[in-house]
A and B are shown apart, each in its own frame.
Chain A
Amino acid sequence: MDLASNTAHGMVSAHKPQGLARWLFATNHKDIGSMYLWFAFCMFLVGGVLALCIRAELFSPGLQFFQPELFNQLTTLHGLIMVFGAIMPAFTGLANWMLPLMIGAPDMAFARMNNWSFWLLPPAMTLLLLSFIVPGGAAAAGWTLYAPLSVQLGMGMDLTIFAIHILGISSIMGAINIVVTIINLRAPGMRMMNMPMFAWASLITAYLIIAVMPVLAGAVTMVLADRHFGSHFFNAAGGGDPVLYQHVFWFFGHPEVYIMALPAFGIVSQVIPTFARKPLFGYSSMVYATSSIGVLSFMVWAHHMFVTGMPATAQLFFMYATMLIAVPTGVKVFNWIATMWQGSMSFETPMLFAIGFILLFTIGGLSGVTLSVAAVDVQLHGSYYVVAHFHYVLVAGALFSLFSAVYYWFPKMTGRMYVERLGQLHFWWSLLWFNVTFFPMHFLGLAGMPRRIPDYALQFTDFNRIASIGAFMFGLGQLIFLVNILYSLRHGKTAPQQPWEGANTLEWQIPTPAPYHSFNPPPQLETAENGVVLSMRDSGQA
């Protein structure tokens, strides 16, 4: 049955504008999703270049290329660009592309607003990058923009504040779109408790975004007021409190960590069952685990602030609450492993990245549990151990899951197969050099090397050299990915409707490449857990 042809009579099919207008005025979730993904990849390269500047400076002790002020700008912008320009837009882009296909929706619920969400990203990132060339340079307070540093910096900080406002508007609108699409646009028969895990993860992520982006907007607005309008929110002389900034920021910042992790869980929960050729183990426990991570993420923020002089009771509360998160996360990891257990596994590139994700994300999670111990954190706070920890969860976690997703859905998006050998090379290359880059940082941190400092004591030289070499090789390896994508877009083998034998969610039931408009009107479905489609028929209304 060819659902695509159903839409040929649909009112929307007449509109497929060509040229620039197709992208600038887009209301099609696939077009907008593609723009999100390309934009995120460009920002990944920009943020990556900044990272390589940092690693070049740290190749040797002493100052090589950058003055400390500029070095701080590089670390700050690297963080902001990777978080808000690369990881978050990439997940939103994937949700745009795949959610409607996975739950049987005709498009996103608010197609025009969807386009505004995307087109706010380039202006915001332009403001951020412009800040490098204004007097005083870019924001240099770290991506957390702690007061009082952020109150004192030059006008680059103002550009950063307004960029964050625009990014906030963008991601709140994108998140409302995702929530409403999932709640209201599922095809008949796609019950919530049968939805693909990717949809569940996107739903809870979107909820977190709606809840915490306004808090970040409030925090940076108060910084702006302190900078220019005479208030003292973060200054004790006026009755304010610099620690207050950290509380408000991390009330946003900790859920933000899960905003970048939950969609990754969702992707892995689709990829592992496909290549293990088994249903996802413990689907409903996955839903509950994801939901409880969503709830717990609001109660642990002060574990980023153990050295601010909190009362011991508060330290204990935030320490235990943080450790509690390891429980649902552990549920997930064990469920993925149990899904693979006795599965008929094959190891195509998406599966490799998913398994790499499980392995390395677990290491990152365990170093997180280490850091959650308040007494230990006092030693490790602000050290390279923290840098190692969050790069394990963000690079080997979020980024690897994104690679997995792009390889997994590339055939459905483009109608062509990627080059498997290049994909495998990309994986092994990334896996190796990722660990060469970030594993030594654990040792550096344990030995006391502070982060965000362009110089270091001589005894840290060897590990820093190894990390820098690893970083440049890792960065080089991402060009394999780019070449693979660019080559395969034009010359890849034609993909069948169902390139993965074990994939049985809804997006694989429509032609490849996915038609410009799909599922309008929606099909009647019979589904099983994790979005598995048992039967699909025309709703008969067309």
Chain B
Amino acid sequence: MEHPEQPLAGAYFVPAPSCWPALGALALFCLGLGAALAVNAMAWGGGLLLLGALCLLRMLVGWFGDVIGENQQGCYRQQEDLSFRWGMGWFIFSEVMLFAACFGVLFWLRLVALPTLGSLDYKWLYPDFSPSWPLQTAPQPTQSYRAMEAWGLPAFNTLILLTSGATLTWAHWGLLQGRRRQLQAGLLCTFSLGGLFLLLQAFEYHHAWTAWRLTLSAGAYGMTFYLLTGLHGLHVLLGSLILLVVWRRVRRGHFDRQHHFAFEAAAWYWHFVDVVWLLLFVLVYCL
């Protein structure tokens, strides 16, 4: 890509033509086609998925690399900065709606669908079904399983994520006061706590899936559990990767007290993921 020149005073930065969007389109095409083939166990599925993932990775590295480079050259000033803030805010809003839909599914099943299936009307169809939550079986049982318990590992995971929110804020204070070591340490703590959370969740999944036989096909309890916690886990993964990038940028001396929106965006995202977990903990594990 060509090096952008210094923009005019009062002008808005419009980037030079870029190959990354086209590569990104190719990547998602390969991912979409590959996934459709793979879920049907057809040839080329896995290969296309891999190709798509590699293209997407290359695009992300290149695209964000360009953005960081432009930022370091001073292309982004107040107005551009505000665009990024609004953009991130609306992106998080779209994520809120995605989670809202999934929570809506949980509410609907628990408050409407399951009580109906357990009501007198359905006794002729599912005579032994009891809709008490956590469900002990599906209406038409496929396997016996054990439900999750809130006050073991999930409570510890809650503590981890809450702590990570605190360490991130501590890092932010370090950045605002120019204490770079505190910034680095705080970021590293947050990233590590995120990683620890994911490891524990992987352990929890493994245990639930194999030892407790709680699988996706275990019925309403299992599927909503994996839907909500799985979606959240993917967001923790993404948030951790973002934090990792921010941490590397800090090590390279990026960001100052005034200009550090990449850090703030990562923090917004992380706190959002935090809040979702709190809702999950209460609504999926506790209640």
Contacts and interface: CB of A to CB of B under 8 A. Distances in A.
A166 B29 CA distance: 8
Contact of B16 (A22, A27, A162, A229): A27
Contact of A521 (B11, B82, B83): B11
Interface in A96-130: 105-107, 109-113, 115-116, 118-120, 122-124, 126-127, 130
Interface stretch (B105-113, B150-158, B184-192): B105-113
Interface stretch (A4-12, A266-274, A321-329): A4-12
A10 B113 contact: no
A212 B97 contact: yes
Chain A interface bracket (under 10, 10 to 19, 20 to 34, 35 or more): 35 or more
B124 interface: no
Interface in B1-33: 2, 4-22, 24-26, 28-29, 31-33
Nearest to B22: A24
A244 interface: yes
* A interface majority secondary structure: helix
Nearest to A108: B14
A15 B16 contact: yes
B227 interface: yes
B90 A239 contact: no
B18 A109 contact: no
A211 B4 CA distance: 35
B11 A116 contact: no
Chain B interface bracket (under 10, 10 to 19, 20 to 34, 35 or more): 35 or more
A211 B98 CA distance: 8
B220 A239 contact: yes
Contact of B14 (A107, A130, A214, A232): A107
Contacts of B5: 11, 14
B19 A25 contact: yes
Contact of B138 (A239, A248, A541): A239
Interface string A241-254: 10110011001000
A219 B104 CA distance: 11
Interface stretch (B34-42, B173-181, B247-255, B257-265): B34-42
Interface stretch (B159-167, B199-207, B211-219): B211-219
B91 A222 contact: no
A521 B9 contact: yes
B138 A106 contact: no
26 contacts: A11-B14, A15-B17, A25-B19, A109-B86, A115-B22, A116-B24, A116-B25, A119-B21, A123-B28, A123-B32, A126-B29, A180-B87, A180-B90, A184-B83, A213-B94, A214-B95, A215-B98, A217-B98, A225-B216, A230-B215, A231-B226, A232-B223, A241-B109, A243-B113, A521-B10, A541-B11
Interface of A: 9-12, 14-15, 17, 21-22, 24-28, 105-107, 109-113, 115-116, 118-120, 122-124, 126-127, 130, 155, 158-159, 161-163, 165-166, 169, 172, 175-176, 179-180, 183-185, 210-215, 217-219, 222, 224-225, 227-233, 236-241, 243-244, 247-248, 251, 517, 520-522, 539, 541-542
